[in-house]
Structure formats: structure tokens, C-alpha cells
Amino acid sequence: MHLTQAELARRAGIKQPTLSLIETGTTRALSGQTMVGLAKALNTTPDWIMHGRGIDDIKRYSEEAVAVMVLFEQLNEANKAAAIATIEALSRTQAQPEDRRITPDRRNNKH
């Protein structure tokens, strides 16, 4: 992908001088919105942009997933653990497929 700074900035929804600061390392703290925009414009993940990981296995994530990843990376270790615990608890409360849902009738029956 051969893009000028101006074209990449346009695709990412940021200003070209901002992209220049990012590329030169003058600014290191990127907003979630900037990170999401760059990841989408480059068809990659925020993890690759921030850490250079996943080059061989780049996946396209939903905008929501990218936003969550960006926010997660900004948390301290204690808050990361709390966020994971919260997400795990939420996933357990979602409706399960009918054949896996535990109902009063199934609780009392032995299969």
C-alpha cells in the first residue's frame, strides 16, 4: 500500500500534521478514535500499530472490537483484570442456545 501522508490522514479521519507527529514519534499518546481510524485505513489492528504484533495474522475487527482493544490497552493492570472479569461475567449472563440452557425440568432429570 503506497499512500501519501495526506491520503492516509484523509482515510483515517485525522489531519496530515497530526499524522506527521505520529510518524516521527513526536506524539505517542493516540486517542482511541485516532487509533481506530488508522487501523481501519491501514486494514490492520490497533495491536499491530501499537506493538508491531500480528503481522502474519492480521484480522479485520469490528469497529466496536477495535475501540474496546484501544481502551483496554490504556488501562493499568488492576483495571485490565477488572475489565476481563466484567466481560466474563457478562458473557455468562447471555442467553444460551435452547439445548444448552438449564431449565427447572432439565435440572431434575438425569440424562
The per-residue b/e assignment along 65-75, b for 16 or more CB within 10 angstroms, e otherwise, is: ebbbbbeeeee
In the chain, where does DSSP find H-type helix?
5-12, 16-24, 32-41, 46-51, 63-73, 77-93, 104-108
List, in order of start, the domains of the chain with CATH numbers. 5-97 (1.10.260.40)
pLDDT 10s digits, 22-64: 888 888 778 888 888 998 898 887 777 777 765 444 456 677 7
DSSP codes joined into one string, 53-83: --GGG--PPPHHHHHHHHHHHTS-HHHHHHH
CA separation for the pair 33, 29 (Å, rounded): 12
Model pTM above 0.85: no
